[in-house]
Amino acid sequence: MLNTGKIAPGPRGHLLLGNLREFQRDVFQLLLDSAQRFGSVVRLRLGPLLVHLLSDPDHITRVLQDNR
């Protein structure tokens, strides 16, 4: 997969906290809803942290196995 320089989509969240409240309330629901709404690569802000959710098996293999 080629890096296109695009920013992954994701839920907007709070200005300072990002998606931290939703994450603390129900992490699994946040992850399921985000993947369903935004696709196989989702960008989440958890307070000061920026994380990406990968739900496509090929993407997961690339990150965890091929790109050590």
**How confident is the model over 3-24, as pLDDT tens digits?**
677 899 999 999 999 999 999 9
Residue 12 lies in a domain: no
Residue 10 lies in a domain: no
Full residue range of the structural domain in which residue 34 is found? 20-66
Residue 2: C-alpha distances to residues 20, 24, 25, 38, 58 (Å)? 30, 33, 35, 19, 13
Say how far apart CA 1 and CA 6 lie, in whole Å.
13
Query: How many structural domains comprise the chain?
Result: 1
Model confidence, pTM: 0.82
Q: Is residue 1 predicted with pLDDT exceeding 60?
A: no
Residue 60 lies in a domain: yes
Residue 58 lies in a domain: yes
Q: Which two tokens stand for residue 7?
A: 């920013």
